Chain A
Amino acid sequence: MSSASNVTSESPGTPTAVGQAVEPAAGASGSGPKPGRGSSDAGLRAQGVAPKRRVEVRGKVLTGACVAVVAALVVALIVMICGQGVQTFTKDGVPFSKFLFGTAWNPTRTDADGVPYVGALPMIAGSFSVTLLSCLFALPFALGSSIFVVEVAPRFGTRIFRPVTEVLVGIPSVVFGMIGLYVIVPLIRSIVGGTGYGIMSASIVLAVMILPTVTSLSIDAIASVPESYREGSLGLGCTRWQTIVHVVLPSALPGILTAIVLGMTRAFGEALAVQMVIGSGGASVMPTSLFKAATTLTSVITMNIGNQAQGTLYYDALWSLAMVLLVMSLLFILIVRLIGRKGSVKND
């Protein structure tokens, strides 16, 4: 069958073969002068196909290589951070529970049992407090403004509000940190007294920082609710507000949750802006007040990693903190994925 179809070119069994042979020739004659139009059928086939196929292969190799590099990078990062991070527990013999739940941080000293003080709980608590608080602060504004620009003033939304939030996304975190230092910290100081540094200031700065991200994703979530849901509700004589509260928001919930979790991821990992306004609390002080200086995982790492020699316990312990950060952000992404999948099932 195959040999027969090769011989008779107009046989119905070989449309692909004919198509491949003719199409490259036509393309080549249009773009380059090299393959002559007058050459024989066999010549066309040989000269016409080869360059195109070479381009195909080159494209595949190039894009495949990019994928390989990215994948290798991700794997290498995870392996390296975890490999270094677990040294504290394997090489230095610190029990994992002492690290996760211990509240004393001073890796150069050891306690009565000879276990170094590497309790990370104060930092973990600090990180979680600023993350949750900043989301709590940002969420009402993000949700309110995204409802407004989608449901009330869509033209204002697409022409002015959207571009403005996109500009905000691009502002470097050090700028936010400076603004926090010169606006938020004095403000807190004048209201509640003290130094003004602390979790509250950091949360406010972070809230402003993640606001554009959360807003822009919430806008996407609300805008993706099918128009037919709104029409159905309006057609039943419900007001716009009833429609938003009872139909649009419940349907947009998975998307809004995704926005929040991505905002949390960003807040959790932010180092610079937080460090500038959270003050320099001792790393072994559990945060007891929103208005006292505290520490986060990121701030302890940035402040100390430059001063520690490789291979020391302190160095290893900092890597363990980085591992906690990595695991947490992976967890956040996993949550986003799960929400997304559940949402797609519900919204068919």
Chain B
Amino acid sequence: MTTIEPETSGASATAAAAPGAAPADAPRTTPAERPSDGEHLLSTRDVSVLYGDNRALKPTTLDFDAGTVTALIGPSGCGKSTFLRCINMMNREIPHCRVEGHIWYGGVDVNAPDTDLYEVRRRIGMVFQQPNPFNKSIYDNIAFAPRRHGVKGRKQLDQLVEESLRGAALWDEVKDDLHKSGRALSGGQQQRLCIARTLALHPDVILMDEPCSALDPIATLAIEQTVRDIVATGICVIIVTHNMEQAARVSDRTAFFYLGEMVETGPTAHLMKMPKDQRLSDYLTGRFS
């Protein structure tokens, strides 16, 4: 059990977020007044995952700040996606999967049995590996979740759709066919539609599970640019990738996972240049993948 204390260098980013913990059922917040749990927007403390008796993730302690991108890197099957899926409790949908430890967000432990799962997922959005827009129009793909969460007015929805599509840098490409099927878009556009879909709920955090693994290099760059744009509005992005260059391009901080263990974390540039752990330096030099 090696949990390396993260060196908290996200101070500059944290400064952007207003201090003071917000209650769990606070109304939607604008980027300027995001809730934060003391110093960090989101903190995991000894989070581990068990599938039956099989421990897929060893206790992991990490902090995430508003307005930053954290990359989770490591070879396939090393637990980075498993960790990501703890944060919005998607692991609860998997039978026999148990999550231990604490996930502090907005002053509450997400991993407590009485947490409002749906509110957590509204505030902590998720973008998946395969673009998975619904079998609906572009407009309905975005309006879908706000409607379920009680946004009714047509005007309000129109505005939300435009704002979200602009946020995901997709508005100019699709503004004339909002009623075309979301699945008729290209792969990269579909993925940006999925990002727009999560933006429509005004999340604090967006989890991205290898969002570019099914995309070509140009679409990948577009997504990465979108990620930087989103983060500039004060959202915290946690992105799983096994592409080192992508982590270097897009992230402020990086955490390296290996065999179900969070091995090392730190500012991305620092980590890439001077890895402390032998396993990370092996990974960086491509001695295994």
Q: Hey, which bits of chain A sit against chain B, CB under 8 A?
A: 226, 228-229, 231-239, 242, 246-247, 250-251, 346-348
Contact = CB atoms under 8 A, between A and B. Distances in A.
Contacts of A238: 118, 144-145, 148
B87 to A, nearest CB: 11
Contacts of A251: 134-135
A246 B148 contact: yes
A239 B119 CA distance: 10
Nearest to A242: B148
A188 B120 CA distance: 52
Nearest to A228: B132
B108 to A, nearest CB: 15
A229 B135 contact: yes
A236 B201 contact: yes
Contacts of B134: 229, 232-233, 247, 251
Given A228-B130, A242-B148, A235 B135 contact: no
Interface residues of B, number: 29
B132 A226 contact: yes
Contacts of A347: 135
A236 B145 CA distance: 6
Nearest to B119: A237
Nearest to A348: B183
B244 interface: no
B192 interface: no
B268 interface: no
A236 B201 CA distance: 8
18 contacts: A229-B135, A231-B93, A232-B128, A232-B194, A235-B121, A236-B144, A236-B148, A237-B117, A237-B118, A237-B122, A237-B123, A237-B148, A238-B144, A238-B145, A238-B148, A246-B144, A251-B135, A346-B135
B132 A237 contact: no
Q: Which 9 A-B pairs have the closest CB atoms?
A: A237-B121, A237-B122, A228-B132, A236-B145, A235-B126, A232-B132, A237-B118, A238-B148, A242-B148
Contacts of B201: 236-237
Interface in B88-140: 88, 90, 93, 117-123, 125-126, 128, 130, 132-136
Interface in B155-181: 181
Nearest to B127: A235
Q: Which of A232, A247, A348 has the most CB of B within 10 A?
A: A232
A236 B120 contact: no
B78 to A, nearest CB: 21
B183 A237 contact: no
